[in-house]
Structure 1
Amino acid sequence: MPIIVCNTRAGLDVDVKRRVAKAITLAVNEIIKSPLPIISVIFNDLASESSYVGGEPGADTLIMCNIRAGRSEEAKVALVKRVSALFSELAGVPEERIETGLLEYVAKYIIRGGKQLPDPPYA
């Protein structure tokens, strides 16, 4: 944890995904100080019939930033803004077609490698 989940239209080039994943990983590390080895970026490729906006077929990208609770409001806002901007820049998707949100989880309920993760800022 953190786990950044990018739900986007299928067909995004694998090299673009690599660049997006690397850039987002570095941004998460910089902004909320999570160590690189525990940051995951996941891509869910959506078929055209699997994405709707306003009840109509859509091609918006929805990104959820899942992090452990304990970061400042400034850091959380900076994170969602940076993730949106990076995805837009590297994937060529206008920011008007990207929605980025943040979900927080209590650290004691997060297990990685069989071990409970500490409260931020310790990891």
Structure 2
Amino acid sequence: MAVTVEDVRRIATPLPRAYEVVVRDRVKWRVGSIVWLAFSRDETELGFAFPREERAALVESEPDVFFLPGQVDLRYQWVEAWTDALDLDRLPELVLDAWAMVVPKSVSAPYFAGLGAGLGADR
């Protein structure tokens, strides 16, 4: 089953400074003016912020899931995935890592520290 906009929305929307927009019939998430997650119009592809120097390795390791953006977007720190090939269990990590790339560490560090404290309380 494909990852849906609603699956991503549950993870992305509560993140500090993140907000959802629709641009030219595409659902995207921004922090300020920076887009860090975006669905294709038909929602079969999900693009997300990802370190430029690591994306070739990601794509090579799982070419059935991940692919490089189009030529015009190669200048950005971005990679894409097929929504029907993404594992839902992996989605939170991809979303959180993409968000952490675009917010200041002063925002992401307390958020992740809170997650760790929450995990410790459950154990």
Structure 2 length as normaliser, TM-score? 0.29
Larger strand percent: 1
Structure 1 length as normaliser, TM-score? 0.29
Question: Which structure is richer in relative contact order (CA contacts within 8 A, separation 6 or more)?
Answer: 1
